[in-house]
């Protein structure tokens, strides 16, 4: 066979295969894949404020949800949670003993001081107050939900605090949130090392962080707070009032990625007993891999996890910025997640612009993940956060 | 005894003009659980005067999606299928006849916004079972009009050729008319 003819046949073969496997377009039934600038969002434009998409009736009706827990009173018949703005009763929740946990849904609005009040009714028909706390609210649509706790009633609230899950950031991005204590004041974070988040306790008391390398027991003794988070716990130790909250734009510090790694988030966190979709130990994760070449390989992945531990990829994408910025210690990569109803959107920040990475449908309602992660809540306690926006920085 | 296809269809003697077949119906697409409306146009050619039950045809199908069951999946919002095939009439009654068709070709489809591209082309293979009802005038069959209903099943090739479970199936039901000159 003449060499030219062989070349022609070879080239034709390559062309045919190239057409067949690379130029035939997407396959029916595969996951749609978004990319930078897709989904109607153009890179280089400032991202508008998230549009609140409220959950369907029967699930949650607003975004402002408080988880309230109390200890079990021996002679309690029922518990009553109340939320008041001034003298206006916003919402109540009555729990029949021995149930000690409830959710208060606060209508989305601007409030001044909101008082959370908890009482119980004994078998003799006598109602006794359990605790009274003042919580300052802001309009969630303005980007911030819960800000501070006023401990003016501390005399009746001997042990109470706001707590945050994994508030491990070398500095506070949002001035509304208590700053992370500097290393000199906090032996738990000697080098602003995020790894201590996995072993140390921390709590926000008033507007300051309290942290210690010791277990939470010593914190209780030293700092007179009850609601602390410790990774060794299966959940929070709560005796009185226990509040989790949505957060907006708080950051999590992290060392530069040494290799491909996964960052875990969930828009909805609740521990449920049942297995299955929306059940126990399920969640949605947003992973990125800065050491993958975005020119040839998808380096962002969003996956869901069922309670058996099986991960299912919802979406993958190639994001050059993750590849370029995620590796470098000096190139900080800011990311952002908006949880909007059934969807969450991931962005990275370029200058002051938010560049969309991916949009994925979140069909997971609950998660009971343990280990480290971050999000507007903590991974083990029961809390629902259907609408949230938060942001973190990848060092 | 009367028997269908014992004489050539109408037309210029010795020249077998193609019959025209027009149909409309609906489809259901597996893997994405979408359904939509489809229309088809075909030309049927008699291959040989001694074998009138055998037909070769070329066919074009257009379909448009009505329901997109899962917007997270890639699914055609419109598709066009070009096929060639053969059809053999296995049961030939005076009023009804039943045929078996097999054809293959290419599907071209357009999908919703997707980073990998908006258009796809794939080979397809189809089998169908058209049931004809022949229109008669004064009880006489003219081989002119025939109405038919045809369930069809089309398999669409996937990029992962070895993973047959990934291949979508396009189920169709068609109602139409065939006209012979």
Show the tokens assigned to A120. Answer: 């119980």
SS3 (DSSP) at B33:
coil
CA–CA gap between residue A171 and residue A384 (Å, rounded): 27
Contact A30 B29 (CB under 8 A): no
The torsion of the CA quartet A249, A255, A260, A265, rounded to 10 degrees, works out to -30
Interatomic CA distance for residues B155 and B127, integer angstroms: 9
ipTM for the whole complex: 0.85
Task: Please provide the distance, in angstroms rounded to a whole number, between the alpha carbons at the two ends of chain A.
Answer: 60
B103-112 residue pLDDT tens:
999 999 999 8
Are the CB atoms for B42 and B131 separated by under 8 Å? no
Find chain A residues with C-beta within 8 A of B115's C-beta.
33-35, 38, 317
Q: Are A214 and A105 in contact (CB under 8 A)?
A: no
CB contact B131 to A (< 8 Å)? no
Task: Give the integer Cα–Cα distance in Å for B90 and B98.
Answer: 6
Contact list, B107 vs chain A (CB under 8 Å): none
User: Which SS3 state, helix, strand or coil, does residue B140 take?
Assistant: strand
Taking an 8 Å cut-off on Cβ atoms, the answer to whether A28 and B29 are in contact is: yes
d(CA B93, nearest CA chain A) in Å: 40
> Cβ of B117 under 8 Å from any chain A Cβ?
yes
* pLDDT exceeds 90 at position B125: yes
Across the range B163-174, mean pLDDT stands at 91
Token pair, residue A308, equals: 């058996």
At residue B83, the pLDDT reads 97
Asked if A309 and A25 touch (Cβ cutoff 8 Å), the reply is: no
Quote the pLDDT of residue B56.
93
The dihedral region occupied by B11, where left means phi > 0, alpha psi between -120 and 50, and beta the remainder, is: left
Interface test with B, best of A16, A24, A27 (most B CBs within 10 A): A27
Contact residues, chain A, for B75 at CB < 8 Å: 28-29
* Rounded Cα–Cα distance for residues A388 and A268 (Å): 9
- Reading the block at residue A249, the tokens are 């734009």
How many Å apart are CA A289 and CA A310, to the nearest integer?
20
Higher pLDDT, A36 or B67: B67
Q: What is the pLDDT of residue B142?
A: 66
Number of H helices, E strands in chain A: 3, 17
Most confident listed range (B4-13, B81-90, B142-151): B81-90
Q: Is the pLDDT of residue B135 over 80?
A: yes
Work out the pLDDT band at B157, boundaries 50, 70, 90: very high
**Residue where the block lists tokens 């897709």:** A38
**Contact (Cβ atoms closer than 8 angstroms) between residue A186 and residue A211:** yes
- Quote the percentage of chain B above a pLDDT of 70: 87
Residues B121, A314: C-beta atoms closer than 8 Å: no
The pLDDT value recorded for residue A35 is: 44
How far B112 CA lies from chain A's nearest CA (Å)? Answer: 8
Average pLDDT on B131-160 reads: 86
Residue B72 has phi, psi (to 5 degrees) of -80, -10
Pick the residue of A26, A41, A300 with the most B CBs within 10 A to test the interface with B by mutation.
A26
Q: Supply B18's token pair.
A: 């193609």
CB contact under 8 A, A25 and B121: yes
pLDDT value at residue A307 = 56
Residues 287-316 of A with CB under 8 A from B: 314-315
Residue B1 in this model has a pLDDT that exceeds 60: no
**pLDDT interval class at B149 (50, 70, 90):** very high
Average pLDDT over residues B43-54: 83
With the C-alpha atoms ordered A37, A41, A44, A48, is the resulting torsion angle positive or negative? negative
Whether B116 and chain A come into contact, CB under 8 Å, resolves to yes
- Closest residue, chain B, to A19 (C-alpha): B121
Q: Chain B within 8 Å of A361 (Cβ-Cβ)?
A: yes
Question: For strand B76-92 and strand A353-361, is the pairing parallel, antiparallel, or unpaired?
Answer: unpaired
Q: Do B168 and A28 touch (CB under 8 A)?
A: yes
Mean pLDDT per segment of 10 residues, for chain A of length 395 residues? Answer: 66 56 75 45 36 27 44 74 73 76 56 61 71 37 29 28 28 29 39 37 40 34 31 27 22 32 40 40 56 70 61 64 51 54 59 60 39 30 32 35
With CB atoms and an 8 Å threshold, state whether A24 touches B159: yes
- d(Cα B68, Cα A253) in Å, to the nearest integer? 41
Inform me whether the pLDDT recorded for B81 exceeds 70. Answer: yes
- Residue where the block lists tokens 């109803």: A341
H/E segment holding residue B56: strand B54-67
Separation CA A138–CA A143 (nearest Å): 8
CB atoms within 10 A of CB A319: 25
């Amino acid at each position: 066979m003449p060499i030219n003819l062989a070349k022609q046949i070879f080239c034709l073969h390559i062309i045919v295969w190239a057409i067949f496997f690379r130029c035939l377009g997407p396959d029916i039934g595969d996951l749609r894949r978004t990319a930078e600038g897709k989904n109607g969002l153009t890179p280089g434009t400032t991202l508008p404020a998230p549009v609140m998409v409220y959950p369907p009736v029967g699930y949650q009706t607003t975004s402002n949800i408080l988880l309230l827990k109390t200890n079990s009173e021996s002679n309690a018949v029922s518990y009553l949670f109340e939320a008041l703005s001034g003298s206006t009763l916003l919402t109540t929740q009555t729990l029949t003993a021995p149930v000690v946990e409830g959710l208060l849904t606060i209508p989305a609005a601007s409030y001044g001081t909101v008082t959370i009040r908890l009482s119980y009714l004994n078998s003799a028909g006598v109602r006794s107050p359990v605790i009274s706390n003042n919580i300052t609210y802001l309009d969630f649509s303005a980007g911030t939900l819960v800000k501070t706790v006023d401990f003016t009633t501390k005399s009746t609230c001997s042990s109470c605090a706001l707590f945050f899950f994994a508030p491990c950031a070398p500095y506070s991005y949002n001035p509304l949130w208590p700053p992370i204590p500097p290393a000199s004041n906090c032996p738990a974070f000697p080098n602003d090392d995020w790894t201590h988040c996995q072993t140390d306790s921390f709590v926000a008391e008033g507007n300051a962080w309290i942290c210690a390398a010791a277990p939470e027991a010593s914190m209780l003794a030293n700092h007179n707070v009850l609601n602390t988070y410790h990774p060794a716990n299966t959940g929070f130790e709560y005796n009185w009032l226990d509040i989790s909250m949505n957060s907006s734009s708080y950051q999590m510090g992290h060392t530069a990625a040494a290799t491909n790694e996964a960052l875990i988030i969930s828009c909805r966190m609740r521990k449920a007993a049942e297995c299955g979709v929306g059940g126990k130990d399920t969640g949605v994760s947003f992973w990125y891999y800065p050491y993958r070449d975005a020119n040839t390989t998808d380096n962002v992945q969003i996956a869901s996890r069922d309670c058996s531990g099986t991960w299912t990829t919802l979406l993958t994408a190639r994001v050059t910025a993750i590849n370029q910025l995620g590796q470098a210690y000096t190139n900080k990569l800011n990311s952002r997640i908006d949880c909007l109803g059934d969807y969450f959107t991931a962005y990275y920040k370029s200058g002051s612009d938010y560049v969309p990475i991916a949009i994925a449908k979140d069909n997971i309602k609950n998660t009971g993940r343990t280990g480290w992660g971050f999000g507007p809540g903590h991974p083990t306690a029961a809390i629902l956060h259907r609408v949230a926006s938060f942001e973190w920085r990848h060092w | 005894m009367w028997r269908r296809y014992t004489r050539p269809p109408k037309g210029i003697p010795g020249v077998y003009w193609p019959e025209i077949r027009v149909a409309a119906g609906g489809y259901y697409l597996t893997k994405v659980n979408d359904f939509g409306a489809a229309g088809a146009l075909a030309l049927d050619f008699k291959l040989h005067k001694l074998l009138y039950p055998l037909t070769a045809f070329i066919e074009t199908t257009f379909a448009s999606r009505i329901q997109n069951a899962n917007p997270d999946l890639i699914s055609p919002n419109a598709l066009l299928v070009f096929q060639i095939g053969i059809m053999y009439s296995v049961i030939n009654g005076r009023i009804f006849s039943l045929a078996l068709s097999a054809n293959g070709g290419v599907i071209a489809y357009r999908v919703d916004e997707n980073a990998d591209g908006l258009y796809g082309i794939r080979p397809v293979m189809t089998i169908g079972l058209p049931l004809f009802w022949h229109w008669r005038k004064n009880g006489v069959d003219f081989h002119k009009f025939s109405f038919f209903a045809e369930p069809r099943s089309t398999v669409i090739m996937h990029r992962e050729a070895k993973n047959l479970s990934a291949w979508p199936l396009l189920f169709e039901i068609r109602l139409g008319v065939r006209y012979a000159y």
